[in-house]
Amino acid sequence: MNEHSKPHTPDFSDDNKRRGFMVKIAAIVVGGITSIIPAVFAGGFFLTPLLKKRDDAEEKSDGFVRVGSTASLVPGGAPLAFKIRGIKIDAWTTYAEAAIGSVYVLMDEAGALTAFNATCTHLGCTVNYKSEENSFACPCHDSAFALDGERTNDIPPRNMDTLEVEIRNKEEVWVKYQSFRAGTSGKIPV
């Protein structure tokens, strides 16, 4: 019987067992790496909003919120309304980026800014800007305010609430957003 006609018998030698063991280890290592890489990218993807959130929080740590750009304001022109977004909590849910209020920002002829909280000082509705009269009015119970925020009838208990406003980095408009108690003659932060 020559070499080629020998029946094939399984080789259970130590060398072969060792080789099989090494192949299994290599498969585990390669499998582990290929499953870790997507997990790292997926983790980065999901963590990114959290990291961004932290940056935003740092930007707002002085209470100022960037609402827009001076490029959108006309000197001596109409006030612009900007929405303020932030964390809103109701009975069941926390919303990370919900609209929590709005502000009006005006630029005078000299480029100075004035900001008002758009919440009516009467009972808390949102005040509208009326371009026909170039003044503010509340649709709920007809409170009326001049362009400088001063009340022009006796319905609201006080003028519109002014807010601190600054220009940063040459063209960014930043407002220190605050809410105040409605229905009182005093400006009481809440």
Count of CB atoms situated within 10 Å of the CB of 113: 17
Which one, 100 or 125, has the nearer CB to ligand FES?
Answer: 125
Determine the distance from the C-alpha atom of residue 187 to the mean position of all C-alpha atoms in its chain, rounded to a whole number.
27
* 73 lies in the site for ligand FES, by CB under 6 A: no
Find the part of the chain contacting ligand FES (CB under 6 A) among 41-49, 67-75, 100-108, 133-141: 133-141
Residue corresponding to tokens 């000197």: 75
Q: Residue 94 Cβ, how far from ligand FES at the closest point, in Å? A: 27
Q: Please select the residue that binds ligand FES; options are 80, 146, 147, 155, rule is CB under 6 A.
A: 155
Interface characters, 77-96, with ligand FES (x: CB under 6 A): --------------------
Long-range contacts of 22-26 (CB under 8 A, 24+ apart): none
Contact of 85 with 99, CB cutoff 8 Å? yes
Contact of 76 with 109, CB cutoff 8 Å? yes
* 137 lies in the site for ligand FES, by CB under 6 A: no
Which one, 163 or 173, has the nearer CB to ligand FES?
Answer: 163
* Dist. CA 88–CA 8, nearest whole Å: 75
* 122 lies in the site for ligand FES, by CB under 6 A: yes
Q: Please select the residue that binds ligand FES; options are 123, 146, 147, 167, rule is CB under 6 A.
A: 123
* 125 lies in the site for ligand FES, by CB under 6 A: yes
* 103 lies in the site for ligand FES, by CB under 6 A: no
Determine the distance from the C-alpha atom of residue 83 to the mean position of all C-alpha atoms in its chain, rounded to a whole number.
11
* Dist. CA 70–CA 106, nearest whole Å: 10
Determine the distance from the C-alpha atom of residue 86 to the mean position of all C-alpha atoms in its chain, rounded to a whole number.
6
Residues at the contact surface with ligand FES, assessed by CB under 6 A: 120, 122-125, 138, 140-143, 155
